[in-house]
């Protein structure tokens, strides 16, 4: 696997709130890697990091830079849905890309339209540096480990696809970024009340083309008490009638693990050990 020597930082979604804090993190990252900035430190477009045109330009330039090995999002927020259809994906190849939150939209698009190796991970502002060596190891070697609690079913096979629930629901108005393979859908969110999570789960359930691809669901962290979210998760586990599990390893918190997005996996409950292996 390609070793990571140069990292490009991009801000394709929400506004950068504290550039001084960002620069401190860049200084730390620069001790191990060459870091390139593909964003404007001064730009601000209301709740967006920059204008749509500038965010597209920076996004494409980061991937066109032949010296760059990993393109890493600085933060999530909002804004990916405004530009995802306008990016020239023919320019994008031979890189690693890591993001989450609103970046789930870019993960889906890049996985479908390019040969970029995509990873659902923490970002610069919310913890990627806290476990830097482990995150880089996962990306370079395409391996990972996850703790799952089984809810329904014994086995499922498919490609890992998903991320932030509210971002993905906005993407699902079109089917163009769905993989061709069967899916293991993983979902997480923060700051959404229970009734909105319910509504978004049901939007996925009503999407017949998407639902027909789903062979397993991993419910991540929704920042709610177990007593609130667990009954809803169990209800939808029954409704979808596929292999389902839950985990705290997929979250907005700094305990979020890096997952090779689009990786083909098999989820299996071992009859004796009662655990799930990801192969």
What angle, 0 to 180 degrees and rounded to 10, lies between the N-to-C axes of helices 194-206 and 226-240? 10
What six digits make up the tokens of 31? Answer: 């001790």
Q: Poorest-confidence range of 24-28, 75-79, 152-156?
A: 152-156
Cα–Cα separations (whole angstroms), residue 24 to 20, 251, 254, 260: 6, 24, 18, 28
Q: Is 6-141 assigned to CATH 3.40.50.300?
A: no
Residues of 127-140 as b/e, b for ≥16 C-beta within 10 angstroms? bbbebbeebbebbb
Report the C-alpha gap between 278 and 155 in whole angstroms: 10
Distances (CA, A) of 252 to 101, 104, 222: 7, 12, 9
Q: What is the mean pLDDT of the chain?
A: 93
Where are the domains positioned within the chain? 6-141, 149-278
Measured distance CA(122)–CA(134) in Å, rounded:
12
Q: For residue 259, which phi and psi values (nearest 5 degrees)?
A: -120, 130
* pLDDT for res 44: 84
The rounded Cα 246 to chain-centroid distance in angstroms is 17
Please state the rounded mean pLDDT for residues 199-218.
95
Residue 107 Cα distances to 19, 48, 226, 228, 271, angstroms: 25, 19, 28, 29, 34
Q: Are strands 264-269 and 276-278 parallel, antiparallel or unpaired?
A: antiparallel
> Confidence band (pLDDT; 50, 70, 90) for 268?
confident
The CATH code for residues 149-278 is: 3.50.30.60
Summarised one tens digit per residue, pLDDT across range 41-88 is 888 899 999 999 999 999 999 999 999 999 999 999 999 999 999 999
pTM exceeds 0.85, yes or no: yes
């Amino acid at each position: 696997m390609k070793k990571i020597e140069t990292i490009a930082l991009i801000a394709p979604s929400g506004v950068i709130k504290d550039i001084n804090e960002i620069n401190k993190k860049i200084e730390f990252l620069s001790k191990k890697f060459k870091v390139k900035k593909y964003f404007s430190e001064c730009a601000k477009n209301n709740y967006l990091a920059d204008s749509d045109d500038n965010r597209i330009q920076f996004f494409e330039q980061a991937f066109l830079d032949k010296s760059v090995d990993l393109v890493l999002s600085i933060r999530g927020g909002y804004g990916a849905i405004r530009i995802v259809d306008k990016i020239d994906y023919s320019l994008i190849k031979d890189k690693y890309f890591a993001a989450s939150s609103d970046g789930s939209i870019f993960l889906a698009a890049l996985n479908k339209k390019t040969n970029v190796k995509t990873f659902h991970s923490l970002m610069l502002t919310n913890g990627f540096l806290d476990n830097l060596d482990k995150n880089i190891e996962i990306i370079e070697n395409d391996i990972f480990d996850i703790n799952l609690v089984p809810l329904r079913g014994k086995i499922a096979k498919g490609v890992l696809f998903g991320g932030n629930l509210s971002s993905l629901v906005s993407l699902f108005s079109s089917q163009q970024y769905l993989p061709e393979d069967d899916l293991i859908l993983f979902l997480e969110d923060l700051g959404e009340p229970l009734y909105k999570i319910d509504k978004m789960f049901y939007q996925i359930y009503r999407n017949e083309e998407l639902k027909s691809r789903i062979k397993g669901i991993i419910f991540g962290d929704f920042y709610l008490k177990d007593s609130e979210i667990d009954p809803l998760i169990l209800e939808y586990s029954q409704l979808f009638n596929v292999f389902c599990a839950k985990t705290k390893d997929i979250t907005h918190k700094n305990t979020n693990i890096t997952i090779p997005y689009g990786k083909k996996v098999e989820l299996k409950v071992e009859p004796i050990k009662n655990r799930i292996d990801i192969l």
